A = this chain, B = another copy of it.
Amino acid sequence: MKVHILTIGDEILIGQIIDTNSAWMGQQLNLQGAEVIEITTLSDTRESILEGFKKAEKNADVILITGGLGPTKDDITKKVMAEHFGAGMVFHDETWERIARMFEKWGRSTTEAHKNQCFMPQNAEILLNKMGTAPGMWFQENGKVYVSMPGVPYEMKYLMEHEVLPRLKESFPAEPISHRTILTIGEGESRIASRIEKFEESLPENIKLAFLPGMGAVRLRLTGRGGNAADLETVLDAKKAELETLIPELIFGHGTETLEERIGVLLKERSLTFATAESCTGGHIAHKLTTVPGSSAYFLGGIVSYSNEMKMRQLGVQASTLEANGAVSEPVVQEMAKGVIANIGADISLSISGIMGPGGGSEEKPVGTVWMAVADKDRVVTEKLTIGKNRITNIQYASVKALDLVRRFLLKHV
């Protein structure tokens, strides 16, 4: 199955938005064994969209289109698709009823633009979009599949996962393909590569290893293709087990698991509660933990002590400790972590304090200096990080490293 991804929207061409949709779609399609042969971003004019369709259908079996489905005048994808197929537009009652119901529930009134959104090319099969007002559309013409989806990422993702990917799998049965993903943290890509070099060389022709570096973590993905499906699973399981023995201490999970989900599992297994005291990460760690459904079972909450006053008042950090060591120091994160246990009553706590930049650095403590601590009622362990100069990246990276410290604490001490 050869796929051409078409993204429609001037906002991408002028760089106001970075196209993250195509990368996500590329990943999902790749996992299903489909080949993305081209990604094209087009201007939202009739001419460029029509020409884009013509170019795309030359080489692709499937053309996935995002964007240009909104209710405003510059959203013309639907009309141009109808023109391309020589199809008329028909009013889709179900979509209109859905929109009307949604707005009624929200206590708001619909506009003419919403009604216009319900006219669809008559050859379109309508794909229910539970995340927004514009539905997806599925076309089969001249032996090709065309799918149109909204450009809003979570709407596109919903449609891909619930409608498009399952239908494509049915329409284009592929040779067996299977994956094993091992999630690691603690070493960079090149150090892992040198540790598992011989393993990589020993892999059979039909199994490939990919390094997928992310923020502070590296995913290792084994992909097997072809042959008998059951045999493929057996070989992949064996290779995965072999790989795990080579870097056991780096592995925190598998598949699409996240570090914050893993910590939730570890805490629940141990029937422990958890709370945080964040200075430099400003709530990002609590945010990550609470993206996990059901996290209220173990996460009691946190203090974002962005000021020294709050470190003292809410966490019981001593003024003398702050004066003697500064807010970014080992003694302060130790007191913060202990303060969380004492004041919030959690079994395990995490604290973090650092200088994220761009300002606030000094000769002695440059931007990127971070102290973190994890405590239970008996002990506190600390770790220092020296990271980069970019504020946002620093916040994200420090959050991951802090969560990993919690993970290692739970495995080692509890």
> In whole Å, how far is A152's beta carbon from the nearest beta carbon of chain B?
7
Which chain B positions have C-beta within 8 A of A388? 131
Given A42-B38, A154-B390, A287 contacting B293 (CB threshold 8 A): no
Say if the beta carbon of A26 comes within 8 Å of chain B: yes
Closest to A387 in B: B106
Indicate if the CB atoms of A291 and B286 lie closer than 8 Å.
no
Task: Assess whether B13 is in contact with A111, with CB atoms less than 8 Å apart.
Answer: no
Give the docked Cα–Cα distance between A113 and B187 (Å): 14
| 7 nearest A-B residue pairs (beta carbon) | A282-B290, A283-B286, A283-B283, A15-B26, A15-B27, A301-B306, A39-B41
Within 8 A of B (CB), among A6-32: 10-20, 22-28, 30
Instruction: Please tell me if the beta carbons of A300 and B296 are within 8 angstroms of each other in the complex.
Output: no
Q: Which single residue of chain B is at the shortest CB-CB distance from A211?
A: B72
The digit string for A206-224, where 1 denotes a CB below 8 A from any CB of B, is 0000111100000101000
Alpha-carbon distance between A123 and B68 when the two chains are bound, in angstroms: 41
- Residue on B with the closest CB to A286? B283
One digit per residue, 1 when the CB lies within 8 angstroms of any chain B CB and 0 when it does not, for chain A 103-116 equals 00111000111100
| A303 near B303: Cβ-Cβ < 8 Å | yes
Interface set, chain A 128-163, CB cutoff 8 A to B: 130-131, 152, 154
Q: How many copies does the complex hold?
A: 2
Q: List chain A positions with a Cβ less than 8 A from chain B.
A: 10-20, 22-28, 30, 36-43, 48, 51-52, 55, 59, 70-74, 105-107, 111-114, 117, 130-131, 152, 154, 189-191, 193-194, 200, 210-213, 219, 221, 276, 278, 281-287, 289-291, 293-296, 299-307, 309-310, 313-314, 343-345, 357-359, 386, 388-393, 395
A299's nearest neighbour on chain B, judged by CB, is B306
Report which of B70, B112, B286, B386 forms a contact with A213, defined as CB distance below 8 A: B70
**Residue contact B294 to A359, C-beta cutoff 8 Å:** yes
Q: Are B38 and A359 in contact (CB under 8 A)?
A: no
In the bound complex, what is the Cα–Cα distance between A154 and B214 (angstroms)? Answer: 11
A284–B12 Cα distance when bound, in Å, is 27
Considering the chains assembled together, what is the distance between the CA atoms of A27 and B14 in angstroms?
5
A sample of 28 cross-chain residue pairs with beta-carbon separation below 8 angstroms, ordered by A number, consists of: A11-B212, A15-B36, A16-B210, A19-B22, A19-B39, A37-B43, A38-B40, A38-B41, A55-B55, A70-B189, A71-B193, A72-B211, A111-B191, A113-B190, A113-B194, A131-B390, A152-B213, A154-B393, A276-B304, A282-B289, A283-B286, A284-B287, A284-B290, A286-B304, A286-B306, A290-B306, A301-B306, A301-B314
Q: Flag if A15 contacts B37 (CB, 8 Å).
A: no
Q: Which residues of B contact A193 (CB under 8 A)?
A: 71-73, 111, 113
Partner of A194, one of B26, B51, B112, B291: B112
**Are B301's CB and A307's CB within 8 A?**
yes
CB distance from A102 to the nearest CB of B (A): 10
Known interface pairs A17-B23, A391-B293; A310-B300 also in contact (CB < 8 Å): yes
The answer to whether A283 touches B304 (Cβ under 8 A) is yes
Rounded to whole Å, the gap between the CB of A12 and the closest CB of chain B is: 7
Cross-chain contact B306 with A304 (CB below 8 angstroms): no
A131 surroundings in chain B (CB, below 8 A): 388, 390, 393
Q: Are B39 and A26 in contact (CB under 8 A)?
A: no
| A16 B301 Cβ-Cβ under 8 A | no
Judging by beta carbons under 8 Å apart, are B212 and A17 in contact? yes
List of B residues within 8 angstroms of A13 by Cβ: 26, 30, 36-39
Is A309 a contact of B393 with CB atoms below 8 Å?
no
Q: Are A296 and B290 in contact (CB under 8 A)?
A: no
**Is the beta-carbon distance between A48 and B38 smaller than 8 angstroms?**
yes
Q: Which residues of B are found within 8 Å of A37, using beta-carbon distances?
A: 13, 43, 48
Decide: A291 and B111 in contact? CB cutoff 8 A.
Answer: no
Q: Taking A40-B41, A70-B211, A293-B359 as given, write out 6 further A-B residue pairs in contact, using a Cβ cutoff of 8 Å, ordered by the A residue number.
A: A13-B26, A15-B30, A105-B386, A113-B190, A283-B284, A290-B304
Nearest CB of B to A22, in Å: 7
User: Chain B's nearest CB lies how many Å from the CB of A385?
Assistant: 10
